[in-house]
């Protein structure tokens, strides 16, 4: 695997961040300042110097990929007002699932007013709209969200993602040097399926703190290089177990942490100092941050 990483590096197609400096990924865009996963948040992330802009992907009833973190619409839109009777009730709680609405219906929802009047009227973008905005200005960092859930509803998220990338000529490493693409997921099966479908795009395997006991050994980390070129642990895992960075690097894997935010700087005076700690003291290679403008490019 190490030979593969170095081969890709020398080919100029993909370079894990430990070999080329630190990488800034705008988490749901510049989500500290604008409604997450919307065009204003993506546009601001580019203005603030993001290397990559993240898009969480969900699927509409008519099979269109849209940028939305949750499976459901109620947290970040006015769906309960626009479609009051289109919910599912689960354990006494009402939920409006994105997959129960067509793209045309979702376009009727306000996805910005919850963050302030200046964002009223902001819409949930399709992934294609996000690509059109970001392309040539930053990299794309899509996440396959809950692919098993969508599989149970008759959708093939991995094929949909690759189809969109193919239509945009972005399905190969290095296809557009100004728009690199990295695919991320918490689902090992989803990332393995991407490889099985012939995708050579780099992949990041996300790891939650609640699952950390499974991954806290070199023997557990090393096999990740069978289906990904990097791991994405929750930041608290790395702070508690900094040896995780060495184990990953020894296996030829990069380390990308999530999520740094001015709203929760982890006991540091500010998010910039927290980010610098992870990047330059613990040696992680990249970070998802809500605050692209607070990302330190050099040690302080």
Active site residues: 27, 69
Sign of CA dihedral 281, 253, 233, 130: positive
Query: Which two tokens mark 115?
Result: 């963050």
Q: Are 218 and 247 in contact (CB under 8 A)?
A: yes
Query: Which two tokens mark 85?
Result: 């009777």
* Rounded Cα–Cα distance for residues 283 and 277 (Å): 8
CA distance readout (Å), 132 to 53, 121, 129, 137, 143 = 13, 20, 5, 10, 17
Helix residue ranges per DSSP H, 72-180: 79-82, 103-106, 127-134, 147-152, 157-167
Query: Which two tokens mark 172?
Result: 């190969």
């Amino acid at each position: 695997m190490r030979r593969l990483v170095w081969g890709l590096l020398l080919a100029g197609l993909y370079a894990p961040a430990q070999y080329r400096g630190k990488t800034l990924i705008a988490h749901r865009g510049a989500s500290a300042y604008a409604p997450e996963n919307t065009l204003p948040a993506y546009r601001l992330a580019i203005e603030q110097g993001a290397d990559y802009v993240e898009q969480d992907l969900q699927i509409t009833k008519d099979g269109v990929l849209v940028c939305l973190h949750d499976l459901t619409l109620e947290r970040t839109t006015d769906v309960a007002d626009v479609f009051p009777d289109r919910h599912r009730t689960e354990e006494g709680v009402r939920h409006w699932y994105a997959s129960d609405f067509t793209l045309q219906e979702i376009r009727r929802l306000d996805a910005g007013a919850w963050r302030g009047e200046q964002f009223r009227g902001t819409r949930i973008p399709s992934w294609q709209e996000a690509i059109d905005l970001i392309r040539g200005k930053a990299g794309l960092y899509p996440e396959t969200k809950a692919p098993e859930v969508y599989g149970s509803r008759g959708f093939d998220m991995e094929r949909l993602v690759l189809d969109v990338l193919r239509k945009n000529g972005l399905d190969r490493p290095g296809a557009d040097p100004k728009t690199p693409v990295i695919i991320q997921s918490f689902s090992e099966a989803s990332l393995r399926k991407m490889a099985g479908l012939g995708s050579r795009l780099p992949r990041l395997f996300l790891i939650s703190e609640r699952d950390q006991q499974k991954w806290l050994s070199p023997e557990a980390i090393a096999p990740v290089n069978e289906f990904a070129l990097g791991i994405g642990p929750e930041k608290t895992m790395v702070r508690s177990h900094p040896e995780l960075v060495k184990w990953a690097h020894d296996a030829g894997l990069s380390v990308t942490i999530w999520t740094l935010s001015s709203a929760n700087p982890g006991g540091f005076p500010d998010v910039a100092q927290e980010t610098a700690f992870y990047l330059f003291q613990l040696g992680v290679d990249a970070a998802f941050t809500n605050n692209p403008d607070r990302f330190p490019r050099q040690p302080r």
